[in-house]
A = this chain, B = another copy of it.
Amino acid sequence: MSTQNTGLRPTAGAASRPRELKQERAARTRDQILNAAADAFAGTGFPAVTILDVAELAGVTKGAVYFHFANKEALAVAVAEEFYALLPAIAETVRTEPIAPLDAVAELLIRTATAFRDNRMIQAGARLQIERHLVEAAMPTPFTEYTHLIADLLAQAQSDGQLPASSDPQAMARVVVAAFFGGQHISWVLHDRKDLAERVREIIDVILP
Binding site for B on A (CB under 8 A): 45, 47-48, 129-134, 141-144, 168, 171-172, 174-175, 177-183, 185-186, 189-190, 199, 202-203, 205-207
Contact = CB atoms under 8 A, between A and B. Distances in A.
B182 A183 contact: yes
A23 to B, nearest CB: 36
Contacts of A171: 202, 205-206
A182 B133 CA distance: 16
A202 B175 contact: yes
Given A134-B48, A171-B202, A182 B178 contact: yes
A178 B175 contact: no
Given A130-B130, A175-B207, A186 B47 contact: no
Nearest to A144: B190
A206 B172 contact: yes
A129 B188 CA distance: 12
A-B pairs with lowest CB-CB distance, top 8: A182-B182, A178-B183, A178-B182, A181-B182, A179-B179, A47-B47, A175-B206, A130-B130
A206 B208 CA distance: 9
A147 to B, nearest CB: 9
Contacts of A45: 133-134
Contacts of A189: 129, 132, 142-143
- Residue of A141, A180, A183 with highest tally of chain B CB at under 10 A: A183
B203 A206 contact: no
Contacts of A130: 130-131, 185
A206 to B, nearest CB: 4
B186 A199 contact: no
A183 to B, nearest CB: 4
Contacts of A133: 45
Contacts of A48: 134
